[in-house]
Amino acid sequence: MAHTDRGPTDGGTQSTPSSRRRRLAATVALDFALIVVAFLFGIVGTVAVGSTITELVEKAIYKTRHADDGERPDCTNPGWLNAVPRENVDASATRTYTDDGQVENVATRTLDNDTATAWAGRAVTDSGEQLEVSISWTFAGVANDIQLLCIKNGHVGNGNTYLKNHRVRQAEILGCSEDPIELELKDFPVPRGDEFLPKFRQFQTVHLSCDPESPLTLRITTTFPASDGSHQVAISDVRFFSGI
């Protein structure tokens, strides 16, 4: 399963203030030393080497600061990972839904950073049987592996669009390994009152390690049903982060 895993917490011995100060001083010293190394490589190294060294340093700093909590980069805090620019990604889908206003909800709408739009494709038959439907993204000019997929599941424009379209429940990720990676996404209730950023509009984190030379395909296998019996599944936005 492609999930966020958190390491176990240590509920044993408690550190004293002096030991915490010593660990903090050691962490600060290590951070400073790594930054100096990154600065020197940025000056004397080639651009490619300097960039790689900088990422290694940022990765080391991140892991040092989160050594106790086991935290990994996610869509809220991607750490040392770099956002893949929109112009370096393209999208296509096996099914595309055209609404009553003749608007095509094409796959590239997942890349426009606009929650008022979404990709949509028919997911179930009139009798409720699941149809095979998938959406794929391709990359150009991305040097390092794709490490994070951030996804706004469903049409998150508002509570109505969210409930009246299917949302991805289970899927398989193809293109990252020989075998499909199983994925489960969450579904959220729509709040009654005004909420600045309800959970259904937030990115869900999927940890990956995918070669950007290969298309990344999300093959949807089951969905959360629409409230009005609609047949299409939707995804509003995705973002990708790459790194070492």
User: Do 51 and 116 belong to one domain?
Assistant: no
109-126 burial, b if ≥16 CB within 10 A, otherwise e? bbbeeeeebbbbbbbbee
Name the nearest CA neighbour of 56 among 34, 78, 28.
34
Whether 57 and 153 map to the same domain: the answer is: no
Beta strands 232-242 and 146-153: pairing type? antiparallel
pLDDT of residue 53: 57
pLDDT at 161: 94
| 130 and 67 in a common domain | no
118 and 44 inside one domain: no
Domain membership of residue 77 (yes or no) is no
- DSSP for residue 154: B
Q: How confident is the model at residue 20 (pLDDT cuts 50, 70, 90)?
A: low
Q: Verify that 42 and 97 share a domain, yes or no.
A: no
Quick: pLDDT tens for 153-163.
999 999 999 99
CA separation for the pair 80, 164 (Å, rounded) = 37
Given a contact cutoff of 8 angstroms between Cβ atoms, the answer to whether 207 and 28 are in contact is: no
Domain range for residue 46? Answer: 1-72
When computed from its CA atoms, the radius of gyration of the chain, rounded to whole angstroms, is 21
**Whether residues 221 and 116 fall in one domain:** yes
Q: What angle do CA 110, 111, 112 make, to 5 degrees?
A: 100
Predicted confidence at residue 58, as pLDDT, reads 59
Read off the pLDDT of residues 88-144 as tens digits, 9 standing for 90 and up. Answer: 999 999 999 988 777 889 999 999 999 999 999 999 999 889 999 999 999 999 999
Compute the distance between CA of residue 217 and CA of residue 107 in angstroms, rounded to an integer: 12
Confidence of residue 7 (pLDDT cuts 50, 70, 90): very low
pLDDT at 170 > cutoff 50 = yes
The residue that leads in pLDDT, 51 or 174, is 174
> How many domains are there within the chain?
2
- Both 130 and 219 in one domain: the answer is yes
Tell which wins on pLDDT, 72 or 33.
Answer: 72
pLDDT digits (tens, 9 = 90+) for 31-56: 565 555 555 444 444 344 445 555 55
Task: Answer yes or no: do 19 and 113 share one domain.
Answer: no
52 and 158 belong to one structural domain: no
Contact of 8 with 68, CB cutoff 8 Å? no
- Predicted local confidence at residue 192, as pLDDT: 74
The residue-averaged pLDDT of 58-85 equals 74
Report, as an integer, the average pLDDT of 147-175. Answer: 96
Rounded mean pLDDT, 57-80: 69
Average the pLDDT over each of 13-22, 110-119, 196-205, 220-229 and give the range with the smallest value. Answer: 13-22
What is the chain's mean pLDDT, rounded? 81
Smallest CA-to-CA distance from 212 within 137, 152, 150, 112 is with 137
Q: Are 182 and 92 contained in the same domain?
A: yes
Amino acid type, 147: Q
One domain for residues 201 and 100: yes
